Amino acid sequence: MLIFKIFREPEWIALRKNGETAGAPIDISDGFVHFSTAQQAPETAAKHFANQDDLFLVAVDPVPLGEDLKWEASRGDALFPHLYREMQLRDVYWAQPLPLKDGVHQFPAGLVEASV
Protein backbone atom coordinates (compact mmCIF):
# COMPACT_ATOMS: atom_id res chain seq x y z
CA MET A 1 0.00 0.00 0.00
CA LEU A 2 1.22 3.48 -0.87
CA ILE A 3 0.35 6.76 0.83
CA PHE A 4 0.01 10.08 -0.97
CA LYS A 5 1.01 13.70 -0.58
CA ILE A 6 -0.42 16.44 -2.78
CA PHE A 7 2.02 19.24 -3.49
CA ARG A 8 1.57 22.53 -5.29
CA GLU A 9 4.08 22.83 -8.11
CA PRO A 10 6.44 25.23 -6.24
CA GLU A 11 6.48 22.85 -3.23
CA TRP A 12 7.29 19.87 -5.49
CA ILE A 13 10.05 21.84 -7.23
CA ALA A 14 11.51 22.84 -3.84
CA LEU A 15 11.55 19.22 -2.65
CA ARG A 16 13.35 18.15 -5.81
CA LYS A 17 15.85 21.00 -5.48
CA ASN A 18 16.52 20.72 -1.73
CA GLY A 19 16.12 16.97 -1.28
CA GLU A 20 13.82 17.45 1.71
CA THR A 21 10.86 19.47 2.90
CA ALA A 22 8.91 20.19 6.07
CA GLY A 23 5.89 20.27 3.75
CA ALA A 24 3.30 22.86 2.92
CA PRO A 25 2.47 25.73 5.30
CA ILE A 26 -0.25 23.61 6.99
CA ASP A 27 2.29 20.82 7.59
CA ILE A 28 4.77 23.22 9.12
CA SER A 29 2.05 24.74 11.30
CA ASP A 30 0.81 21.32 12.48
CA GLY A 31 4.32 19.93 13.06
CA PHE A 32 4.03 16.97 10.70
CA VAL A 33 3.64 16.18 7.00
CA HIS A 34 0.05 15.27 6.12
CA PHE A 35 -0.52 12.25 3.87
CA SER A 36 -3.63 10.48 2.63
CA THR A 37 -4.44 6.95 1.62
CA ALA A 38 -5.60 6.31 -1.92
CA GLN A 39 -9.21 6.35 -0.75
CA GLN A 40 -8.71 9.64 1.14
CA ALA A 41 -6.72 11.50 -1.52
CA PRO A 42 -9.66 12.60 -3.74
CA GLU A 43 -11.48 14.15 -0.77
CA THR A 44 -8.24 15.78 0.40
CA ALA A 45 -7.78 17.29 -3.07
CA ALA A 46 -11.36 18.55 -3.19
CA LYS A 47 -11.28 19.98 0.35
CA HIS A 48 -7.82 21.56 0.45
CA PHE A 49 -6.95 22.13 -3.22
CA ALA A 50 -10.27 23.02 -4.87
CA ASN A 51 -9.81 24.51 -8.35
CA GLN A 52 -5.99 24.38 -8.16
CA ASP A 53 -4.38 23.00 -11.26
CA ASP A 54 -0.67 23.22 -10.46
CA LEU A 55 -0.64 20.07 -8.33
CA PHE A 56 1.49 16.94 -8.14
CA LEU A 57 0.46 13.63 -6.62
CA VAL A 58 3.40 12.07 -4.82
CA ALA A 59 3.33 8.40 -3.79
CA VAL A 60 5.36 7.15 -0.84
CA ASP A 61 5.91 3.64 0.49
CA PRO A 62 5.09 3.91 4.21
CA VAL A 63 7.23 0.95 5.34
CA PRO A 64 10.65 2.67 5.16
CA LEU A 65 9.26 5.64 7.13
CA GLY A 66 9.19 3.41 10.20
CA GLU A 67 8.22 4.93 13.53
CA ASP A 68 8.30 8.45 12.09
CA LEU A 69 4.92 7.69 10.47
CA LYS A 70 1.90 7.76 12.78
CA TRP A 71 -1.68 6.89 11.88
CA GLU A 72 -3.92 9.38 13.64
CA ALA A 73 -7.63 10.16 13.67
CA SER A 74 -8.61 13.16 11.61
CA ARG A 75 -11.52 13.92 9.25
CA GLY A 76 -14.51 11.87 10.37
CA ASP A 77 -12.30 9.96 12.83
CA ALA A 78 -10.61 8.21 9.89
CA LEU A 79 -6.96 7.33 10.40
CA PHE A 80 -4.60 9.46 8.33
CA PRO A 81 -0.84 8.97 7.95
CA HIS A 82 1.28 11.76 9.45
CA LEU A 83 5.06 11.95 9.05
CA TYR A 84 6.91 13.36 12.06
CA ARG A 85 10.12 14.28 10.29
CA GLU A 86 11.02 16.12 7.13
CA MET A 87 10.00 14.34 3.97
CA GLN A 88 13.01 13.32 1.90
CA LEU A 89 13.18 13.13 -1.88
CA ARG A 90 14.36 9.53 -1.41
CA ASP A 91 10.95 8.80 0.21
CA VAL A 92 9.21 9.40 -3.13
CA TYR A 93 8.16 6.20 -4.88
CA TRP A 94 6.65 8.08 -7.84
CA ALA A 95 5.19 11.48 -8.66
CA GLN A 96 2.99 12.80 -11.43
CA PRO A 97 0.90 15.84 -12.25
CA LEU A 98 -2.61 15.90 -10.81
CA PRO A 99 -4.57 17.69 -13.53
CA LEU A 100 -7.84 19.51 -13.01
CA LYS A 101 -10.62 18.84 -15.52
CA ASP A 102 -14.04 20.47 -15.22
CA GLY A 103 -13.28 21.33 -11.59
CA VAL A 104 -12.34 17.75 -10.61
CA HIS A 105 -8.81 16.48 -10.00
CA GLN A 106 -7.97 13.56 -12.27
CA PHE A 107 -6.33 10.80 -10.26
CA PRO A 108 -4.52 7.95 -11.99
CA ALA A 109 -6.89 5.33 -13.38
CA GLY A 110 -7.55 2.57 -10.88
CA LEU A 111 -5.75 4.25 -7.97
CA VAL A 112 -8.65 4.17 -5.54
CA GLU A 113 -10.09 0.89 -6.80
CA ALA A 114 -6.72 -0.89 -6.62
CA SER A 115 -6.20 0.05 -2.99
CA VAL A 116 -9.59 -1.18 -1.69
| pLDDT (0 to 100) of residue 2 | 97
On whether residue 30 sits in a domain, the answer given is yes
Domain count, the chain: 1
Q: What's the rounded Cα separation, in Å, for the pair 19 and 2? A: 20
| pLDDT (0 to 100) of residue 59 | 98
On whether residue 111 sits in a domain, the answer given is no
Residues of the chain falling short of pLDDT 50: 116
| pLDDT (0 to 100) of residue 47 | 94
On whether residue 105 sits in a domain, the answer given is no
| pLDDT (0 to 100) of residue 116 | 45
pTM: 0.92
Q: 76 lies in which domain range?
A: 3-98
Mean pLDDT of the chain: 94
H helices of 2-105, in order, are 9-18, 25-30, 41-48
Instruction: For residue 34, give the CATH number of its domain.
Output: 3.20.170.20
On whether residue 115 sits in a domain, the answer given is no
**Do 26 and 104 form a contact (C-beta atoms < 8 A)?**
no
| pLDDT (0 to 100) of residue 91 | 98
| pLDDT (0 to 100) of residue 92 | 98
| pLDDT (0 to 100) of residue 76 | 84
| pLDDT (0 to 100) of residue 65 | 98
On whether residue 63 sits in a domain, the answer given is yes
Q: What is the pLDDT of residues 70-86, one digit of tens each?
A: 999 987 889 999 999 99
Residue 52, helix vs strand vs coil:
coil
On whether residue 23 sits in a domain, the answer given is yes
On whether residue 109 sits in a domain, the answer given is no
